[in-house]
Amino acid sequence: MPRENIMRFIRTRFFPHIFCPGCGHGIAVHAMLRAIDSLGYNPQDIMVTSGIGCSGRIPGYINANTLHTTHGRSLAFATGVKLAKPNLKIIAVMGDGDCAAIGGNHFIHAARRNIDITAIVLNNYIYGMTGGQVSPTTPHGAKATTAPYGFIEQQFDLCKLASAAGAVYVARTTVYHVAQVERYIRKAIQKKGFAFVEVVSPCPTQFGRRNKIGDAVKMMQWLKENSIPLSKAKRMSPEELENKIVIGEFADRDAPEYTELYGELRNRIRGEGA
């Protein structure tokens, strides 16, 4: 049971929740709420947007300003909210398909624009809610309902993508590394600009079962055994890194933030600036 100060961020009114047994999303959400609480925010300071699918349902259970949008559009809606209310701390939650397939364009451009949004992708390598179809992060060779013979495409590395597109903070971890999830999200929220945290989250129902990894406990073990810290991964060959989860901080830099730049532009035009 979460502590009382965490409970103020949870809408128990809407329980029971819809997540399957063994789903990793609850762990990630709890870590996110601890991060928010540790930074001293209140529910009214926080805005959580989401797209579609299992991760899309997360904001409904969070007591804050919450908006459940269309598939892939979490960041595009969040951009409008942020520009209208720059003082809100915006967290955009996405699934892997949400972020990298249908929402890929918004993802790279929000990163390029460097708008102050904390983007969290809960990557479970699969389309869970729609029944286990492949996603852009499904590992090469894995099985899905739309890849019954194994997935022949290459897996997307979302952290490399975010970093190349201009995100000022980029990190990846798994729900097994729960303290790290909280720490990375806390850093992402504190970072001014587009910050991206990828949290690998097990989906025993659609991914684990179909790919013979096993139940929730076995999937946690799988996350533990297959995770390689970035420092170690740097010394490994691409072959050794195949199907491994490289965890760590991929980018942490500073760059001009979009809403601030627009505010300055507005002041300049109106002759109120420096």
Partner 1 sequence: MGKVVFWQGNRAIAMGAIAAGIRFFAGYPITPSSEIAEILSAELPKVGGTFIQMEDEIGSMAAAIGASTAGLKSMTATSGPGFSLKQENLGFAIIAEIPVVVVDVQRGGPSTGTPTKPMQGDFMQARWGTHGGFPLIAISPSTVRECYDFTIEASNLAERFRSPVVILSDEVVGHMRERVELPNESEIKVINRKKPTVPPEKYLPYLADPEDDVPPMAAYGEGYCFHMTGLTHNEWGFPTNDPEKIEAMNLRLLRKFEKGKNLLTRYSTFEVEDAEILIVAFGCVARSAMRAVREARKEGYKVGLFRPIIVWPFPDEPLREIASSVKAVIVPEMNIGLMVREVERAVAGRCPVYSLTRLDSDILTPSQIVEKIKEVA
Q: What is the contact surface with partner 1 in residues (CB under 8 A)?
A: 11, 13-14, 43-44, 47, 49, 57, 59-60, 63-70, 73, 76-85, 87-88, 105-106, 108-109, 262, 265-266, 269-270
Q: Decide: 257 and 114 in contact? Cβ < 8 Å.
A: yes
| Minimum CB distance to partner 1, residue 258 (Å) | 9
State which H helix or E strand residue 79 sits in: helix 74-84
| Minimum CB distance to partner 1, residue 267 (Å) | 9
φ/ψ of residue 127, rounded to 5: -85, 100
| Minimum CB distance to partner 1, residue 51 (Å) | 10
The residue with tokens 């809100």 is: 88
Of 81 and 241, which CB lies nearer to partner 1 in the complex structure? 81
The residue with tokens 């003082």 is: 87
Q: Decide: 193 and 257 in contact? Cβ < 8 Å.
A: yes
- Collapsing DSSP to helix, strand or coil, 268 comes out as helix
Of 91 and 219, which CB lies nearer to partner 1 in the complex structure? 91
Of 53 and 248, which CB lies nearer to partner 1 in the complex structure? 53
Q: Decide: 168 and 142 in contact? Cβ < 8 Å.
A: no
Of 59 and 193, which CB lies nearer to partner 1 in the complex structure? 59
Pairing mode, if any, of strands 245-252 and 169-174? antiparallel
Contacts of 207 (CB under 8 A, 6+ apart): 124, 125, 126, 128, 132, 142, 144, 213, 219
Of 184 and 258, which CB lies nearer to partner 1 in the complex structure? 258
| Minimum CB distance to partner 1, residue 128 (Å) | 17
Structure-token pair, residue 261: 């730049």
Of 32 and 181, which CB lies nearer to partner 1 in the complex structure? 32
- Considering only CA atoms, which of 36, 58, 40 is closest in space to residue 49? 58
| Minimum CB distance to partner 1, residue 103 (Å) | 9
| Minimum CB distance to partner 1, residue 18 (Å) | 9
